[in-house]
């Protein structure tokens, strides 16, 4: 009954390497077994012993060897090989596990994607390309399968990030007696036709965009506030601390225009000052003169005519026009009395009778 009790697992890796494993630990606790195989057919078979064993707690539990033909016969024997414990003959082509798909490409067009890979050189008609995908909002994979080696699907939301994985499958039962598939190709992440490192990058990029925009708005707001404060500070500074003229420019014309002649420079500046005073105080003088004329008319009715005489301290100046201007500038008043008339004079010896 040992031959029926031994279970074997047969895998033909892409028709390149065979792996045979068995479960004998429950039957042979204190004895190890040996493994023999052959790809020959007919009566004269040449058995080969296993050179690469797979171990389970220091006991032989499998063998790994090269695939050399479509038909394989195996024999499990006792430790010295004298007694056969199990034997089996089968087609190695019915236990093929394909390799991963090679050179997987994704072609995006709007909401549709086409996934393709290189076509294997052998038995491509027995293979199917399987594509699975899901978004970060899906809990389970969506699967699409097509003949080797292209799969198309549409309906993808450009606002979502999708995970993709791809593998090859052998057709059962026409090509395989066991449903073997290749290992999954490395998972990739796509969003609106763009390859990402992970779907977490989508959330991270959106968060980074929000942070950057917030920082820019904050900087612009701070600049606006600083500009307003600067304008207000300038106004306050001008009202509280008025600008003081630089004295170094006051005497430029003394040396540039008058070659250091102080008297000539003073005469010119005095003329300019007097002319400036006249421009500012002439309306006031005219108003005062009109007032005096009205007072004169009133005095004609009440008593003797009062005459106004003027004496100017500026009369000593040779410039007659300057003396005339000086006589027109009233300042503080002082009363002087003479027999028969009164004299009103100011600090500039302006006398009014």
Instruction: Say how far apart CA 226 and CA 230 lie, in whole Å.
Output: 6
Instruction: Say how far apart CA 277 and CA 326 lie, in whole Å.
Output: 10
Q: For residue 174, give the nearest of 241, 205, 128 by alpha carbon.
A: 128
334 phi, psi to nearest 5 deg: -135, 130
pTM, 2 dp: 0.54
The CATH code that applies to domain 105-196 is 2.60.40.10
CATH superfamily of 8-97: Immunoglobulins (2.60.40.10)
* DSSP H/E element including 143: strand 142-147
- pLDDT, residue 247, reads 59
List, in sequence order, every residue forming a beta bridge with 196; answer none if it has no partner.
Answer: 189
Helix axis angle, 320-327 to 262-302, nearest 10°: 50
Instruction: Say how far apart CA 211 and CA 209 lie, in whole Å.
Output: 5
Task: Please give the DSSP secondary-structure letter assigned to residue 181.
Answer: B
Sign (positive/negative) of CA torsion 287, 293, 299, 301?
negative
Count of beta carbons in the 10 Å neighbourhood of residue 107:
12
Q: In the block, which residue shows the tokens 């499990």?
A: 76
Is the previous residue joined to 273 through a cis bond, with omega within 30 degrees of 0? no
Q: What is the DSSP string of 25-57?
A: TTT-SS--EEEEEE---SSS---EE-SSEEEET
Task: Please give the DSSP secondary-structure letter assigned to residue 249.
Answer: G
List, in sequence order, every residue forming a beta bridge with 64; answer none if it has no partner.
Answer: 19
Is the previous residue joined to 149 through a cis bond, with omega within 30 degrees of 0? yes
Give the up-direction half-sphere exposure of residue 43: CA atoms within 13 A in the CB hemisphere: 0
Q: What is the DSSP string of 250-267?
A: TTHHHHHTSTT-HHHHHH
pLDDT digit string (tens) for the chain, length 353 residues: 455 557 889 999 999 999 999 876 666 666 788 999 999 887 788 999 999 999 888 888 899 999 999 999 999 988 888 888 888 899 999 999 999 999 999 999 988 999 999 998 888 899 999 999 999 888 899 999 998 889 999 999 988 899 999 999 999 988 999 999 999 999 999 998 889 988 886 555 555 667 788 888 888 888 888 888 888 777 776 676 666 666 555 666 666 776 777 677 777 776 555 555 555 555 544 455 455 555 555 555 444 434 443 444 434 444 454 444 444 444 445 555 545 545 555 555 444 44
Q: In what order do the strands lie in the sheet with 351-352?
A: 333-338, 341-346, 351-352
Count of beta carbons in the 10 Å neighbourhood of residue 226:
10
Instruction: Say how far apart CA 338 and CA 336 lie, in whole Å.
Output: 7
Any idea where the domains of the chain sit in the sequence?
Answer: 8-97, 105-196
3-class SS of residue 231: helix
Q: Per residue in 43-72, is it b (16+ CB within 10 Å) or e — as a string?
A: eeeeeeebeebbeeeebbbbbbbebeeeeb
- pLDDT, residue 31, reads 75
Give the up-direction half-sphere exposure of residue 16: CA atoms within 13 A in the CB hemisphere: 7
CA distances from 82 to 33, 34, 56 (A): 11, 10, 23
- pLDDT, residue 91, reads 92
Task: Please give the DSSP secondary-structure letter assigned to residue 302.
Answer: H
**105-196 and 8-97 share a CATH fold:** yes
Beta-carbon contacts of 2 under 8 Å, excluding residues fewer than 6 positions away, are: 27, 85, 86
Give the up-direction half-sphere exposure of residue 284: CA atoms within 13 A in the CB hemisphere: 9
């Amino acid at each position: 009954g040992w031959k029926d009790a031994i279970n074997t697992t047969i895998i033909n890796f892409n028709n390149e390497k065979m792996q045979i494993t068995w479960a004998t630990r429950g039957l042979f606790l204190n004895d190890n077994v040996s493994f023999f195989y052959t790809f020959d057919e007919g009566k004269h078979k040449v058995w080969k012993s296993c050179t690469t064993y797979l171990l389970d707690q220091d006991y032989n539990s499998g063998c790994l060897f090269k695939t050399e033909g479509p038909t394989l016969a195996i024999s499990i024997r006792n430790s010295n090989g004298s007694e056969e414990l199990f034997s089996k003959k089968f087609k190695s082509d019915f236990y093929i596990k394909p390799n991963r798909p090679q050179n997987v490409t994704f072609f995006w067009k709007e909401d549709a994607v086409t996934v393709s890979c290189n076509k294997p050189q052998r038995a491509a008609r027995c293979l199917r390309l399987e594509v699975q995908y899901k978004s970060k909002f899906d809990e389970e994979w969506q699967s699409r399968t097509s003949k080797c080696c292209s799969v198309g699907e549409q309906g993808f939301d450009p606002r979502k990030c999708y995970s993709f994985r791809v593998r090859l499958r052998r057709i059962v039962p026409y090509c395989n007696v066991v449903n073997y598939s290749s290992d999954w190709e490395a998972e990739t992440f796509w969003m609106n036709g763009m390859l990402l490192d992970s779907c977490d990058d989508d959330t991270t990029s959106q968060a980074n965009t929000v942070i950057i925009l917030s920082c820019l708005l904050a900087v612009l707001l701070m600049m606006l506030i600083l500009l307003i404060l600067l304008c207000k500070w300038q106004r306050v500074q001008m009202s509280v601390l008025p600008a003081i003229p630089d004295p170094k420019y006051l005497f430029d014309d003394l040396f540039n225009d008058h070659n250091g002649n102080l008297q000539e420079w003073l005469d010119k500046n005095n003329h300019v000052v007097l002319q400036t005073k006249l421009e500012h105080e002439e309306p006031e003088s005219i108003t005062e003169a009109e007032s005096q004329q009205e007072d004169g008319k009133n005095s004609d009715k009440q008593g003797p005519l009062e005459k106004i005489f003027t004496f100017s301290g500026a009369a000593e100046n040779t410039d007659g026009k300057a003396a005339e201007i000086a006589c027109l500038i009233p300042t503080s008043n002082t009363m002087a009395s003479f027999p028969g008339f009164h004299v009103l004079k100011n600090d500039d010896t302006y006398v009014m009778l």
